[in-house]
Amino acid sequence: MISSSLPLEILDQLTDHNRLAISRLYANGFDSIDISQYPRSAAVLVLLFEKAGQLRVLLTTRSKQLRTHPGQTALPGGRKDPTDKDFIETAFREAHEEVALPRDCPHIHILGTLEPYISQWGIRVSPVVAFLSNVGLLDQLKANPGEVDKIFDHPLEAILEPSISKNENLVPIGSEDWPYQEELYNHDDRIVPVLGNTGYRMHRFRSSASPVKGLTADILIKVAQIAYDKATLYERFAPGQISGFANICVKLETHHSQNPPEEKHLPV
């Protein structure tokens, strides 16, 4: 079964750099914010593993047939079902449905959960962080054709230092999957009316598949900052950007109390 402990023998198999990163995530523990009160809530799985001495994260490209965010990069996950006992169960159930990740696997170790995020559609999203100690399991993963076009992975530390991904088999610059001229990373700032016309920085990272951007990028930036205990090599936030679940909720509630309900979208 999936474990909430992290045996020393698992850590001893890692490089010193990766052992320290995983230990920091494990020490960070479980966030205490309860989002079960919200009618629209979800969870995503940040599944980490060591491969060729690198700590990497499992990602998917969403099916282009999906109604929301078609063809975009995502962490495995989705909406919480009434039968899910908690958001950890939600994350692993969705990962099983999307990429056939075994639901009861002794090689998966839960490291903790992060503070919730809020999606473009106002869904509260709980990130569940876990470590896969047997990378052979990755060969058994299979994309659900109705939901996932591609399964891929990316170096976690490259989310803080994009140059680390230079040796990856990246999609061509200017292609459909990276229609930008920057080599590895770009961003733009946009105004978010529902957050009091404050700014939001959209980060994009070139990968071996679809760009890592938006909410997925935001979550991975936080995971990487905890793991490596360092800042990004680029400016993380737009000028005046609101961060933190509680602060964003306050702004959303203020906006919704003053405006018609139809304008609720956050940036993708």
Residue 253: Cβ-neighbour burial (10 angstroms; 0-12, 13-18, 19+): exposed
Residue 141: Cβ-neighbour burial (10 angstroms; 0-12, 13-18, 19+): middle
Q: At what angle do helices 214-228 and 16-28 cross, to 10 degrees?
A: 110
pLDDT at 264: 46
Helices and strands counted in the chain (H then E): 5, 11
Domains in the chain and their CATH numbers? 8-158+169-258 (3.90.79.10)
Q: Tell me, what amino acid is at 125?
A: V
Q: Is 129 within 8 Å of 220 (Cβ atoms)? A: no
pLDDT at 258: 84
pLDDT tens-digit profile, the chain (268 residues): 677 778 999 999 999 999 999 999 999 999 999 898 888 999 999 999 999 999 999 999 999 888 888 999 999 999 999 999 999 999 999 999 999 999 989 999 999 999 999 998 889 999 999 999 999 999 999 999 999 999 999 999 999 999 999 999 999 999 999 999 999 999 999 999 999 999 999 999 999 999 999 999 999 999 999 999 999 999 999 999 999 999 999 999 998 888 766 544 555 5
Q: Give the sign of the dihedral formed by CA 57, CA 27, CA 245, CA 41.
A: positive
pLDDT at 15: 98
pLDDT at 260: 67
pLDDT at 233: 98
* Residue 9: closest CA among 150, 107, 93: 107
Contacts by 133-139, CB closer than 8 A, 24 or more apart = 133/10, 133/13, 133/49, 133/107, 133/108, 133/109, 134/107, 135/49, 135/50, 135/51, 137/101, 137/102, 137/105, 137/107, 138/49, 138/58
Going from the C-alpha of 121 to that of each of 31, 64, 72, 150, 211, the distances in angstroms are 22, 19, 15, 24, 20
Q: Which residues pair with 41 in a beta bridge?
A: 124
Helices marked H in 13-130 — which ranges? 16-28, 87-99
Q: In what order do the strands lie in the sheet with 198-205?
A: 185-192, 198-205, 212-213
